[in-house]
């Protein structure tokens, strides 16, 4: 019996793997224009890193991490998200001493032991950006503008940027108290069971519950923005005015909250209407206390994460790159010449493959057609004798014969190259 892959883990073949490559290449192109450099962190970290950065009380840490002891009994965890590892690397490399602002992006797999019935993958992929070292609202605005540019460059339509300001350590406690007073006044039985519990443990999360009953009850709840201190207000106003200047489709959303204490001020989410229902494709915000809480310098930060599986759902298959040729060598002699010619075509930048084994002409032509190539190049006994190659344009059926030495020039001149 063959061995199957693990549930929740996917093999990616084209067109899916092409989509992922396209997303990564697009990210590299756009982010590098803004000075972001790529950071690759290990997939495996000490468990304590995630306990401290994500928080012991979260579902991620309590139920969803792939945690196991190594051979020396140390507790290790497959990263459930990227930010913690980026922060650790930032601290360990001493980047704060080397540059005023660090702009880092990372892409790759994350792991969460989620219930499979939710349809989520246990290995999923993200693109993450973190701008570290600046408290300025310009950092928030630039990161968000860059994210929107990236999503548009991918061809995503109907984007809405949702924003909220979470306030700071000074003003948020006053909001929490007002919210708590409000929630204690509502009928606890009208809330969903999760929210009834959250009222005392994490009241902010009641605001972003998706249940209609909970939403109705929190429509008139106090709003974070009304409790922001003057500094937080000024920060948010600056971010908003810079985003408006770029004519981004923004929408204030008082339900946009984050459960953890180190999140502060700007928080955002991008939703796309590309496949009918609104679906969140990216989210992020400012987290000024996180690096210090991990034992690093008192460096502020702002960042976002994009779920690549979610993005892939919204992307078309895209213009696939057609191979330039399929080289068909008939009989042993033809295949030997075809092999040599194939190497020359590729050295010249052309893309394509050849048949390795013998076969009937018809079935070999079928293979050529299947490959999607623009041209089929044929070297049979006649061509071998003359040092020629026959070139058949697979779309038009047009065919001609020419010396093998002229094949590169011909393929390039007939516009079949992908450049
Ligand atoms: Zn404040
Ligand atoms: Zn609820």
Domains of the chain as residue ranges with CATH = 16-171+228-314 (3.30.930.10), 325-413 (3.40.50.800)
Supply the mean pLDDT for the chain.
Answer: 92
User: What pLDDT sits at residue 319?
Assistant: 64
C-alpha of residue 190 to centroid of ligand 1, in Å = 32
Cβ within 8 Å of residue 100, ≥6 positions away? 133, 134
User: What pLDDT sits at residue 117?
Assistant: 64
Backbone phi, psi, residue 306, to 5°: -120, 130
CB 214 within 8 A of CB 113: no
Q: What pLDDT, in 10s, does the model give residues 20-77?
A: 999 999 999 999 999 999 999 999 999 999 999 988 877 888 899 999 999 999 999 9
User: What pLDDT sits at residue 316?
Assistant: 73
* Residue with the larger pLDDT of the pair 315 and 138: 138
> Where does the pLDDT of residue 416 fall: very low under 50, low under 70, confident under 90, or very high at 90 and above?
very low
> Where does the pLDDT of residue 158 fall: very low under 50, low under 70, confident under 90, or very high at 90 and above?
confident
C-alpha of residue 215 to centroid of ligand 2, in Å = 7
Among the bound ligands, the one closest to the CA of 208? 2
> Where does the pLDDT of residue 383 fall: very low under 50, low under 70, confident under 90, or very high at 90 and above?
very high
C-alpha of residue 248 to centroid of ligand 1, in Å = 25
Tokens, residue 309:
């599986």
Among the bound ligands, the one closest to the CA of 233? 1
Helix locations, 327-406, DSSP H: 331-347, 361-370, 381-386
Among the bound ligands, the one closest to the CA of 202? 2
Task: Provide the whole-model pTM.
Answer: 0.90
C-alpha of residue 239 to centroid of ligand 1, in Å = 15
Q: What pLDDT, in 10s, does the model give residues 184-198?
A: 988 888 889 988 888
Among the bound ligands, the one closest to the CA of 286? 1
CA separation for the pair 192, 274 (Å, rounded): 30
């Amino acid at each position: 019996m063959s061995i199957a892959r693990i549930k929740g883990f996917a093999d990616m073949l084209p067109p899916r793997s092409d989509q992922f490559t396209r997303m990564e290449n697009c990210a590299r192109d756009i982010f590098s224009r803004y000075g972001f450099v790529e950071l690759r962190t290990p997939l495996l970290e000490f468990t304590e890193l995630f306990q401290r950065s994500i928080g012991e009380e979260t579902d991620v840490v309590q139920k969803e991490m792939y945690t196991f002891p190594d051979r020396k009994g140390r507790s290790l965890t497959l990263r459930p998200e990227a930010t913690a590892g980026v922060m650790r690397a930032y601290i360990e490399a001493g980047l704060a001493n080397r540059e005023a602002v660090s702009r880092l992006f990372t892409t790759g797999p994350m792991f969460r032991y989620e219930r499979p019935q939710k349809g989520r993958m246990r290995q999923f992929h993200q693109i993450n950006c973190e701008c570290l070292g600046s408290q300025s609202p310009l950092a928030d605005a630039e990161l968000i503008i860059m994210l929107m540019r990236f999503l548009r460059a991918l061809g995503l339509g109907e984007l809405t940027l949702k924003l909220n300001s979470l306030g700071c350590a000074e003003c948020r406690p006053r909001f929490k108290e007002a919210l708590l007073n409000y929630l204690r006044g509502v009928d606890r039985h009208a809330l969903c069971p999760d929210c009834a519990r959250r009222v005392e443990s994490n009241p902010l999360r009641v605001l972003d519950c998706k249940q209609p009953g909970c939403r109705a009850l929190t429509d008139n709840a106090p709003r974070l923005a009304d409790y922001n201190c003057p500094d937080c207000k000024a920060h948010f106003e600056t971010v908003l005015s810079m985003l408006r200047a770029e004519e981004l489709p923004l929408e204030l959303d008082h339900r946009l909250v984050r459960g953890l204490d180190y999140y502060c001020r700007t928080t955002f989410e991008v939703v796309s209407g590309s496949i009918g229902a609104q679906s969140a494709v990216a989210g992020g915000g400012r987290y000024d206390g996180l690096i210090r809480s991990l034992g690093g310098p008192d460096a502020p930060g702002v960042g976002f994460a994009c779920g690549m599986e979610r993005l892939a759902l919204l992307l078309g298959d895209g213009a696939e790159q057609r191979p330039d040729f399929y080289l068909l060598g008939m009989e042993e002699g033809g295949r030997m010449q075809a092999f040599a010619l194939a190497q020359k075509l590729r050295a010249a930048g052309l893309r394509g493959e050849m048949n390795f084994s013998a076969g009937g002409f018809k079935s070999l032509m079928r293979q050529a057609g299947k490959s999607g190539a623009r041209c089929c190049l044929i070297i049979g006994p006649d061509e071998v004798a003359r040092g020629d190659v026959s070139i058949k344009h697979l779309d038009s059926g047009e065919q001609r014969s020419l010396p093998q030495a002229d094949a590169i020039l011909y393929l390039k001149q007939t516009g079949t190259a992908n450049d």
